[in-house]
Amino acid sequence: MKKAAIVVLIIILLIGSFVLRTVWRAGSFKTINNGFSGSTQKIEGPTGVEDITIDQTTGLAFLSSDDRWASMLHKKPVKGAIYRMNLNDSIPEPIILTNEFEQDDFHPHGISLFSKNGRKFLFVVNHRQSGNTIEIFEYANDSLKHKESISHELIISPNDVVAVGERQFYFTNDHNEKMSTWRYVKDLLTIGTGNVCYYDGQTVQETSAAGIKYANGINVSLNREKLYVAAASDLKILIYNRDSISGALTKSGEINTNTGVDNIEIDAEDNLWVGCHPQLLKFLSHAKDESAKSPSEIIRLRNLGGDKFEQETIYMNDGSEISASSVGASYKNTLLIGPVFQHHFVFAERK
């Protein structure tokens, strides 16, 4: 009996220590102090602005919008949209660009802008009811023209995309399998099943970037030689060298951020701006309850070269101004902060 009791006690202690570690790493014991050096205002209208990317040469911002609460909680999906804002306007306003897009089953998630020889292409993760796709649009004459939809069996649970050519891109699968009880168990056990796949213009292939704990945001350096991947539940940004010919990736480093990293944006100086969830368990509550608040954080990772970065929290909020920030996109002194679910985003100006 004593041996059995000891075994049971050991099991209880192991489970308890695992739970405590999980709760600790999820940020449950963090103190959230509101802070931002500058002014902010809420912009109502676009819902669930989960991702934002900015053309640093023109100041044009593109916003991905989808009402996820309508789909998840109310089971009444609403067609999503892509918006544009000109940050050089005296009063920038979001203007919808996808009214003419004939696909009603449009639920955009991560987006990426690629420019070459004066042409601009917007890549969009689209969660169709019939299956996930990557949509490619061309932006010209203040409008988006749909070019093609790309589907593949490896586009399983896509979260974000980054373009490296007119038809070439990487994307993250936050999981390499569809939703199931076993997938949920793996999440509880913090088993990484996320990956990065590459489309070379003809077919999709899985890269060596696999086994990632919730592969989330993805982006490339200005010279497109480095690729960055957010491992959200691992609280890390993973760094890879990329072969521009084959698309192959080789891990070269990682950044321990101590926060739940989401989308990654690159500014004109090659710094990383990351939307973060400092308390991941509150994010899960917020996803299920519109009244539950989830803290928001935007960090800047100043690029020091050689895979070295200096981390600074630019914006922190307890969720009262904006909950569950998934992206912070910077242009000059302007910072756009988007949420996963809410019906507004934040327009901020830094001092």
SS3 of 64-92: the string is EECCHHHHHCCCCCCCCEEEEEECCCCCC
**What is the pLDDT averaged over residues 2-8?**
74
Sheet containing 296-305, strands listed edge to edge, beginning at the edge strand earlier in sequence:
35-36, 308-317, 296-305, 272-277, 260-266
Query: What pLDDT shows up at residue 12?
Result: 75
Indicate which residues carry an active-site annotation: 109
pLDDT of residue 185 exceeding 90: no
The domain that holds 153 is classified in CATH as 2.120.10.30
Q: Report the share of the chain in percent with pLDDT over 90.
A: 86
**What is the pLDDT averaged over residues 142-160?**
97
Same domain, 146 and 222: yes
Same domain, 249 and 222: yes
| pLDDT tens digits along 220-277 | 999 999 999 999 999 999 999 999 999 999 999 999 999 999 999 999 999 999 999 9
Same domain, 111 and 214: yes
pLDDT of residue 1 exceeding 60: no
Same domain, 19 and 45: no
| pLDDT tens digits along 289-340 | 999 999 999 999 999 999 999 999 999 999 999 999 999 999 999 999 999 9
Same domain, 245 and 281: yes
pLDDT greater at residue 4 or residue 31: 31
Same domain, 8 and 138: no
Same domain, 107 and 11: no
Q: Please say whether the beta carbons of 190 and 166 come within 8 A.
A: no
Same domain, 137 and 258: yes
Label residue 184 by pLDDT band (50, 70, 90). confident
Sign of CA dihedral 64, 108, 73, 264: negative
pLDDT of residue 20 exceeding 80: no
Q: Please say whether the beta carbons of 212 and 229 come within 8 A.
A: yes
Same domain, 98 and 184: yes
| Domain carrying residue 133 | 39-350
Q: Would residue 113 be called left, alpha or beta, if left means φ above 0 and alpha means ψ between -120 and 50 degrees? A: beta
| pLDDT tens digits along 79-89 | 999 999 999 99
Domain count, the chain: 2
Query: What pLDDT shows up at residue 18?
Result: 63
Query: What pLDDT shows up at residue 189?
Result: 83
Token pair, residue 268, equals 């004109």
Query: What pLDDT shows up at residue 17?
Result: 67
Q: Please say whether the beta carbons of 124 and 82 come within 8 A.
A: yes
| pLDDT tens digits along 54-65 | 999 999 999 999
The pTM score is 0.95
**What is the pLDDT averaged over residues 97-112?**
93
Buried b (16+ CB within 10 A) or exposed e, 129-143: eeebbbbbbebeeee
Buried b (16+ CB within 10 A) or exposed e, 257-279: bebbbbbbbbbeeebbbbbbbbb
Whole-number average pLDDT of the chain? 95
Same domain, 3 and 71: no
Query: What pLDDT shows up at residue 4?
Result: 76
Same domain, 262 and 126: yes
> From CA 150, how far away is CA 125, in angstroms rounded?
10
Same domain, 93 and 27: no
